[in-house]
């Protein structure tokens, strides 16, 4: 007797859905796969991932950002409508409507918090390294952020929602686009005065796999220390 009798693959409802304005965030833990492949991984991988997830939770839902040089209590940001574990990171999606679009103040705060978590991530992993005495704990987190439209897919086999859209694909490409760059945001608005004040720079990313050249927001300090050949291969100044 087949053990697959009555089983179903993932299927979606065929009702038509409207596109929505969305912001997609994908983060990735560099080196997590190697870390998780250790023979004794089951003892500490889930604990480590939960520790990182709590930092992301603080960024989004508010709380004590202890990793900053001067710790700060974050106020809550709008809640994402979707989040999904990706194996070595996670996806978060926020959506807006014509009547209530996603606000620039929200996206600015999210960019600042993610960039600062990226730059101070060693303070987050230090807590785990003190408890888990094993080599190879990931010490780098990368963020890709992009705005665009998404479509919601309703699954027939579960209540959870799924989303598809260009901004999700773009965020995935951005988080691993350039060695040395751990924060990149596309199609996210930030006025020049804010970019200057908060240490961001806007460049053209000209080699994103599957995408035409895109304006991207980067951390100015990370960009400044890139090797010249790496910089010229991945970015172009705005003329």
| 2 pLDDT higher than 60 | no
Per residue in 64-105, pLDDT tens? Answer: 999 999 999 999 999 999 999 998 899 999 998 777 889 999
Distance CA 57, CA 201 (A): 26
Domain that holds residue 145: 28-236
User: How would residue 13 be classed by pLDDT, with cut points 50, 70 and 90?
Assistant: low
Q: Is residue 6 part of a domain?
A: no
User: How would residue 152 be classed by pLDDT, with cut points 50, 70 and 90?
Assistant: confident
- The count of structural domains within the chain is 1
Distances (CA, A) of 193 to 75, 118, 190, 218: 23, 22, 8, 15
Q: Over pLDDT 90: what percentage of the chain? A: 66
Per-residue burial over 120-149, b if 16 or more Cβ lie within 10 Å, else e, is ebebbbeebeeeeeeeebbeebbbbbbbbe
What is the residue-wise DSSP string for 62-85?
A: -EEETTSSS-EEEPPPPPPSEEEE
Domain CATH number, residue 79: 3.30.70.1230
Q: Is residue 4 part of a domain?
A: no
User: How would residue 157 be classed by pLDDT, with cut points 50, 70 and 90?
Assistant: low
Q: Is residue 10 part of a domain?
A: no
More confident residue, 10 or 116: 116
Q: Is residue 72 part of a domain?
A: yes
Q: Is residue 185 part of a domain?
A: yes
User: How would residue 109 be classed by pLDDT, with cut points 50, 70 and 90?
Assistant: very high
Q: Is residue 77 part of a domain?
A: yes
User: How would residue 18 be classed by pLDDT, with cut points 50, 70 and 90?
Assistant: confident
DSSP H/E element including 115: helix 104-119
Q: Is residue 149 part of a domain?
A: yes
| 1 pLDDT higher than 50 | no
Q: Is residue 5 part of a domain?
A: no
pLDDT at 180: 94
């Amino acid at each position: 007797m087949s053990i697959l009798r009555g089983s179903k693959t993932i299927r979606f409802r065929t009702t038509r859905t409207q596109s929505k304005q969305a912001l997609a965030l994908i983060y990735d833990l560099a080196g997590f796969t190697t870390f998780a492949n250790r023979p004794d991984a089951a003892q500490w991988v889930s604990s480590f991932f939960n520790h990182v997830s709590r930092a992301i939770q603080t960024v989004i839902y508010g709380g004590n950002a202890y990793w900053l040089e001067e710790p700060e209590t974050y106020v809550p940001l709008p809640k994402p409508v979707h989040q999904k574990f990706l194996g070595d990171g996670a996806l978060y999606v926020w959506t807006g409507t014509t009547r209530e679009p996603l606000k620039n103040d929200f996206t600015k705060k999210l960019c600042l918090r993610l960039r600062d978590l990226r730059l101070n991530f060693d303070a987050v992993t230090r807590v785990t390294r003190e408890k888990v005495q094993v080599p190879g704990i990931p010490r780098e987190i990368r963020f890709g952020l992009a705005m665009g439209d998404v479509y919601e897919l309703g699954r027939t086999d579960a209540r959870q929602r799924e989303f598809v859209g260009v901004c999700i694909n773009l965020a995935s490409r951005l988080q691993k686009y350039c060695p040395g760059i751990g924060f990149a945001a596309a199609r996210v608005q930030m006025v020049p005065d804010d970019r200057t004040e908060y240490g961001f720079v806007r460049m053209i990313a000209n080699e994103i796999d599957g995408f035409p050249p895109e304006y991207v927001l980067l951390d100015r300090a990370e960009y400044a220390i890139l090797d010249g050949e790496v910089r010229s291969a991945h970015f172009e100044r705005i003329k």
